[in-house]
């Protein structure tokens, strides 16, 4: 199997298929993604989420903010399972979604744990990480507020943030409050979308 042109092992493919079946079951009763995108699960959500791990395919510790239906956090945890190392802290305050995420980790063997808390308080229990991810969560200035507890004074911590076609305007807004290094990765899945790779985050005085 290939995702975004990159070969995926049979073991990981099987884990992703288990997740897909579980997602379809739970999505009948709780709103895990926008209803209009539910029928295009593999391309719009699984392949799109896989891009995050493919940009940093190492056994690292991740914090996934607003994990919702498991994108990208559960997908990252499944790829880490093949490595047998690394971990994803999935932060999701909605209790029903948090229950889904726990079930998904258990049934796929993904390497992660669920933190059913608000993002603003998550750093109290997750002290540090190597990577941060978020997808369809908030505008960039707000996302950088969320990321700052883990990135402040930690130049090696990197955030990977999915953004749609208005990302340039969000970067301008963020630059009024933050200094950061930025790489833009064109999405392999959606035209006009990007993944922003952000590091060396500092609040402007």
Judged against a pLDDT cut of 90, whether residue 147 lies above it is answered with yes
Judged against a pLDDT cut of 90, whether residue 41 lies above it is answered with no
Judged against a pLDDT cut of 90, whether residue 180 lies above it is answered with yes
Query: What DSSP string runs through the chain?
Result: -EETTEE--HHHHHHHHHHHHHHHHHHTTS--S-GGGGGGIIIIIIIHHHHHHHHS-SS-EEEEES-TTTTTHHHHHHHHHHHT--EEEEE---HHHHHHHHHHHHHHT-SEEEE-S-HHHHTTT----SEEEESSS--HHHHHHHHHHHHTT-TT-EEEEEE-TTHHHHHHHHHTTEEEEEEEEE-SSSTT-EEEEEEEEEE--
Model confidence band, residue 39 (pLDDT cutoffs 50, 70, 90): low
Judged against a pLDDT cut of 80, whether residue 5 lies above it is answered with no
Per-residue pLDDT tens over the stretch 25-34: 988 888 776 5
Model confidence band, residue 36 (pLDDT cutoffs 50, 70, 90): very low
Per-residue pLDDT tens over the stretch 68-84: 999 999 999 999 999 99
């Amino acid at each position: 199997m290939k995702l975004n042109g990159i070969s995926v092992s049979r073991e990981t493919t099987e884990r992703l298929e288990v997740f897909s079946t579980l997602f379809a079951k739970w999505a009948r009763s709780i709103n895990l993604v926008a209803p209009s995108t539910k029928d295009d699960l593999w391309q719009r959500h699984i392949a799109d989420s896989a891009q995050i791990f493919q940009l940093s395919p190492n056994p690292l510790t991740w914090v996934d903010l607003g994990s919702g239906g498991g994108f990208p956090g559960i997908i990252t945890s499944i790829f880490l399972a093949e490595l047998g190392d690394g971990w994803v802290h999935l932060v999701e305050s909605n209790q029903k979604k948090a229950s889904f995420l726990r079930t998904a980790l258990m049934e796929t063997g993904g390497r992660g744990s669920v933190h059913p808390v608000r993002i603003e308080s998550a750093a109290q229990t997750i002290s540090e990480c190597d990577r941060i991810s978020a997808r369809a969560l908030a505008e960039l200035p707000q996302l950088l507020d969320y990321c700052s507890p883990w990135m402040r004074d930690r130049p090696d911590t990197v955030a990977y943030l999915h953004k749609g076609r208005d990302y340039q305007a969000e970067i301008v807004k963020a630059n009024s409050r933050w200094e950061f290094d930025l790489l833009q990765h064109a999405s392999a899945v959606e035209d006009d979308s990007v993944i922003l790779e952000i590091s060396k985050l500092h609040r402007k005085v």
